[in-house]
Amino acid sequence: MSDSRIFTSFHEKLMMLSHSTDFINERRDRKLAALAELCAEALGIERVSVWLLSHGHDRITCEYLFDESLRKAGAAEYDPTEPLILYRNDHPRYFELLGKARLIDASNAREDPATLSFRDNYLIPLGIHSMLDAPIFDGARPSGVICLESLRPHNWTLPELSFVVAVADTISLINTHEAWLDSKRKLDYITHFDSLTGLANLNSLRDRMGYLVSKARHLNHSAFLLVWVDLDRLKAINDGLGPQVGDAVIAETGRRLSELKLPGKDLLARIGGDEFALILDSAAQSEAVDRISDRIRREIQRPLKVHGQQLTLSASLGICEYPTDGDDAESLLRSAEAAMYCAKQQGQSQACRFDTSIQATARSRFALERELRQAIHNDTLNVYYQPIYNGDASAMVSAEALVRWEHPERGLLSPMEFLEVARGAGLMYELGRCVLRRVCLHLQQARSRHVQMPVITVNLAAEQVLKPELPDDINAVCKDFGVCPSTLHFEVTEDAIQGDSNALRTILKRLVKAGSELAIDDFGTGYSSLSRLKALPFSKIKIDRSFIMDLPNDEDDCAITLSIIGLAKGLGLSVVAEGVETEAHEQWLQAQGCQFLQGYRYSRPVPFATLLERFIFNARVPIAPYRD
């Protein structure tokens, strides 16, 4: 038979096998078995094997082996749980060719340079004379090899070479198809499930509620409940004990809620960082809702031990009902979330049913968000200043800029009344830029009046310090108002330095290079490692006011404050104490060598005009601390 007829015959057999419905629907191992047997039968050889190449190309592992002699002897098939493995270090020439995706034609395998290293420990013991290896691919990357082995000398013909390459390509296509199926499964999982808890996610929750709403409309089914569960104080756990502990807490909460048996329980989903939602069908009657919410809260409140830490959690619950509180998935989610925020306002571990008054509160929050967005856009936010004094409280050395909002209807609003709205609306970066512009405007006005201003410190939110464009934006604003960047110092809250260390370090170093100094604000309330503090270019630590308020009577606060002052000295950093309100605070801090003092003992935050009048114009004479 001519080579062309042999070639055609080989490929007809391969086409018939690979396009058959049975083959297509088989498992991977059975597909490999069928292809191996086809090779053995068509070429009249005894052994065919399929091998996987490791990602590092340092070894190959046998995935499937067809051995005619073992089969005739009635021996068991190859067991992939105890695979045969061959290593690059033992066979460097073979792996070199395999890495280059070369066809290895070794008719005399015991003498061929590519396979010579196999002779003593593999070829001779198994009686193999000839080998033919063709590369298998995963995309463009060599991922394995199909190996044909003959127990008799065999000169591989061109049709045989072509046939084996086609079989290898068929396995490559199988790999590609399986990779696509795996990616599809993973994408489907990511789309519908939460990777941390394994629970359904927000997409799945929306789909399920959409189905229940449609079913209720068409079949007149009963109402169902949506319960929004939000863990209280998880941020404090993340900041104090680290994100790994926080993740473990979320996973354990998900497990507990999943195992909790409730009447009418339909679907449990994790819908946010520390937020879960639960659908309860008509079996959960109205009179049982209070009991159900109590059971959920009690389950979450059971003490748990995570990474050696004993923790007690609580949760706030918001509850709404279809169709009373919403006639589609989105409106129900908004109602449940609004009820949850209402519960949080009542304190920890509270539950709240949605009603029209909550709806008004939610609308008020959305209105506040809209008005805040407009105020930022129109550059109408204001800035007050709180002086910072030297250690003996004899002179003001700087002032902290603090944002205020003169609302047209609600009057002067402090940051506590609108910063969470800004954060929830994704407005923190724009708000920070608005504050910076107002500070630079004040500095420009002071310069026009020939007033020498002290250093002004400006707060940077977590949403700002990881933006690569922040240093350029600061320089641009300073340039607009003719302000030297070195006249501005910046404060970064401790929770803002938990992100990407390399990106954060680059951004902060650029600020320092422009002449600014950096302080860590609210120190002691977050989760900062010494290595992180040493690596970042801070020159100052601000002790959080919560540790100052009970000095010198609270032993724990004294110990914490002393340790922070000692840590700062060890790292070559200066210390600012916030919240200094009494003479006792002042005297104790001065005795411990605290370099800077800030608080109501000296001044409340004041408008720019008051700062000029009270502190700047009178700077030619010694300044006594202001008593408000």
Q: Mark which of 167, 189, 211 sits at the end of a domain.
A: 189
Reported as a single tens digit per residue, the pLDDT across 8-45 is 788 788 888 888 888 888 888 889 989 999 999 889 99
Spatial distance between the Cα atoms of 27 and 17, rounded to a whole number of angstroms: 14
Q: Mark which of 138, 155, 189 sits at the end of a domain.
A: 189
Same domain assignment for residues 93 and 229: no
Whether the predicted model's global pTM rises above the 0.75 cut: no
Q: How confident is residue 527, by pLDDT bands cut at 50, 70 and 90?
A: very low
Determine the pLDDT at residue 502: 75
Considering the domain boundaries, does residue 344 fall inside one?
Answer: yes
Least confident among 118-132, 284-298, 322-336: 284-298
* 62 phi and psi angles, rounded to 5 deg: -70, 120
Same domain assignment for residues 220 and 334: yes
**Mean pLDDT score, 325-336:** 88
The β-bridge partners of 382 are: 404
Q: How confident is residue 145, by pLDDT bands cut at 50, 70 and 90?
A: very high
Looking up residue 150, the CATH number of its domain turns out to be 3.30.450.40
Same domain assignment for residues 324 and 414: no
Token pair 């002691």 is at which residue?
524
Considering the domain boundaries, does residue 531 fall inside one?
Answer: yes
Same domain assignment for residues 326 and 395: no
Considering the domain boundaries, does residue 182 fall inside one?
Answer: yes
Same domain assignment for residues 97 and 46: yes
Considering the domain boundaries, does residue 621 fall inside one?
Answer: no
Q: Mark which of 354, 378, 394 sits at the end of a domain.
A: 354
Same domain assignment for residues 162 and 231: no
Name the CA radius of gyration of the chain, rounded: 36
Determine the pLDDT at residue 116: 92
Determine the pLDDT at residue 304: 85
Give the highest mean pLDDT range of 96-105, 193-202, 279-288, 434-443: 434-443
Q: Is the pLDDT of residue 612 over 60?
A: yes
Looking up residue 451, the CATH number of its domain turns out to be 3.20.20.450
* 315 phi and psi angles, rounded to 5 deg: -145, 150
Domain count for the chain: 3
Same domain assignment for residues 101 and 133: yes
Same domain assignment for residues 347 and 377: no
Q: Which amino acid is at 576?
A: V
Closest Cα partner for 275 from 308, 235, 311, 245? Answer: 235
Same domain assignment for residues 350 and 371: no
Higher pLDDT, 345 or 120: 120
* H helix or E strand, kind and range, residue 411: strand 411-413
Q: Is the pLDDT of residue 627 over 50?
A: no
User: Angle at Cα 408 formed by Cα 406 and Cα 414, nearest 5°?
Assistant: 30
Q: Is the pLDDT of residue 625 over 80?
A: no
**Mean pLDDT score, 530-558:** 83
Closest Cα partner for 474 from 524, 283, 43, 483? Answer: 483
Reported as a single tens digit per residue, the pLDDT across 494-523 is 666 755 467 788 889 999 999 999 998 877
Which token pair is 304? 């748990």
* Longest distance between any two alpha carbons in the chain, whole Å: 114
Considering the domain boundaries, does residue 622 fall inside one?
Answer: no
Check the CA dihedral 389-394-397-398 and report its sign. Answer: positive
**Mean pLDDT score, 397-406:** 92
Token pair 């200043």 is at which residue?
385
Same domain assignment for residues 392 and 304: no
Q: Is the pLDDT of residue 73 over 80?
A: no
Q: Which amino acid is at 183?
A: S
Considering the domain boundaries, does residue 44 fall inside one?
Answer: yes
Considering the domain boundaries, does residue 283 fall inside one?
Answer: yes
Which token pair is 147? 């190996």
Considering the domain boundaries, does residue 286 fall inside one?
Answer: yes
Structural domain that includes position 535 = 367-616
Q: Is the pLDDT of residue 620 over 50?
A: no
Tell me how crowded residue 377 is: count the other CB atoms within 10 A of its CB.
11
Same domain assignment for residues 582 and 517: yes
Same domain assignment for residues 327 and 402: no
Q: Is the pLDDT of residue 626 over 50?
A: no
Looking up residue 216, the CATH number of its domain turns out to be 3.30.70.270
